[in-house]
A = this chain, B = another copy of it.
Amino acid sequence: MTTIHDVARHAGVSVATVSRVLNNSGTVRTDTRARVLAVIDQLDYHPSAMGQSLRLNRTRIVMVVVPEVTNPFVGEVVYSMELAARSRGYSILLHEYHGDQLTDLQLQQYVSTRRIDGLIFLTAEAREKQFQQLAQQLPTILACEYVDHWDIPSVSIDNIAATLDVMRYLMGLGHTRILLISGSAGNVSARDRLRGYRIAHEQAGLPVCEELLQEAEPTPAAAYATLTGAVERGLDFTAVFCASDVLAIGALRALQDKGLAVPRDVSVVGFDDIMFAPFLNPALTTVHQPAREIGERAIAMWLCAAEGKAQDYPVTVRHELRIRDSCAVARR
């Protein structure tokens, strides 16, 4: 392993000088610099990240805390974060989070041992307290969600407005009994989508029927089970609004298996617009979230926060209801 000392010795200069040419800091005579550069090249020298980290007290690693990489929407956001971070010399440490205490502890460990320079949360989850505590210790950004009473930089769509778009669209088609399948309640997005659901009913002067509010684990299988159960119980509804496309895929199938045609008998709307949405059968009407943009903005905002610069937040990016083939006029 060749170190800065080897380079210094071979070039006949001190390590300080090598460091200067490495970092373009201080002043180095042109010919000295050339000599050092030549040796660096010849020895194929690369400065040790650990040495630098210890000295500078930063790792150039930011941890991305996600609820489920397996969800293509999350994957897309993480993907763009990785590219954006890398292009700025940072790396992404991936961390799955499912709201358990052990993970809380592990997260705090990462922070305490200074293994990471900062955090980006893709989920604010139920454990807001824990997250707030972490956010106090390191630069932190919230992506995909927004929490009113928490003063932290965030980038997301307006989840409530998006839900209202969906609800108004559905109500415009004559639907009044809309089944909501949301993710677990701790999730802010789920909360916002529920909130939007209620507001829409209020605005339309319609009562919210609590039995139409269903929760499911974030898998198609769970949504399938939930919806199958609802149909079997004879629950009365003409449309289903799923808090994510992942859920919608299970919902679509459950309805079809129960002999209900989509959209003829029941309309279905998803959320996220994952890459599969337009190719489902029927093509899924859903809320498009600019995943790539969210990822890139989150990284940019994190960098900004890490440099201690002031910035405006929350940042709200544009969503869009993509109308495809899974909704029709209510027949009842």
Q: Which residues of A contact B (CB under 8 A)?
A: 1, 44, 46-51, 53-54, 57, 59, 61, 68-72, 74-76, 78-79, 82-83, 86, 91-96, 106, 109-110, 112-115, 219-221, 224, 246, 249-250, 252-253, 256, 275-276, 278-281, 283
Q: How many copies are assembled?
A: 2
CA distance A72 to B275 in the complex (A): 11
The winner among A106, A219, A276 for most chain B CB atoms within 10 A is A276
Report the Cα distance A106→B147, complex, angstroms. Answer: 36
B46 pairs with A112, CB closer than 8 A: yes
Residue pair B253, A114 in contact (C-beta under 8 Å): no
CB nearest to A69 among chain B residues: B75
Query: Could you tell me the distance between the alpha carbons of A276 and B253 in the complex, rounded to whole angstroms?
Result: 10
Taken together as a complex, chains A and B put the C-alpha atoms of A275 and B72 apart, in Å, by 11
Contact A91 B115 (CB under 8 A): yes
Residues of B within 8 A of A93 (CB): 61, 91-94
Residues A70 and B61 in contact in the complex (CB < 8 Å), given A112-B46, A220-B275, A279-B252: no
How far does the Cβ of A166 sit from chain B's closest Cβ, in whole Å? 21
Q: A54-B54, A61-B93, A91-B115 are in contact. Are A76 and B70 (CB under 8 A)?
A: yes
Closest residue on chain B to residue A2 by CB atoms = B112
A-B contact pairs, 17 of them (CB 8 A): A1-B114, A44-B112, A46-B113, A50-B53, A51-B54, A53-B54, A54-B54, A72-B75, A93-B93, A93-B94, A220-B275, A246-B275, A249-B279, A253-B278, A253-B279, A280-B280, A280-B281
What residues of chain B lie closer than 8 Å to A252, measured between beta carbons?
Answer: 279, 281
CA distance A149 to B79 in the complex (A): 31
8 further A-B pairs in the complex, CB-CB below 8 A; given A46-B113, A219-B275: A47-B113, A49-B115, A69-B69, A70-B72, A71-B72, A82-B95, A86-B95, A94-B94
Contact B96 A94 (CB under 8 A): no
Given known contacts A54-B50, A57-B50, A279-B249, A96 and B82 CB-to-CB distance under 8 angstroms: yes
Chain B residues closer than 8 Å to A92, beta-carbon distance: 93-94
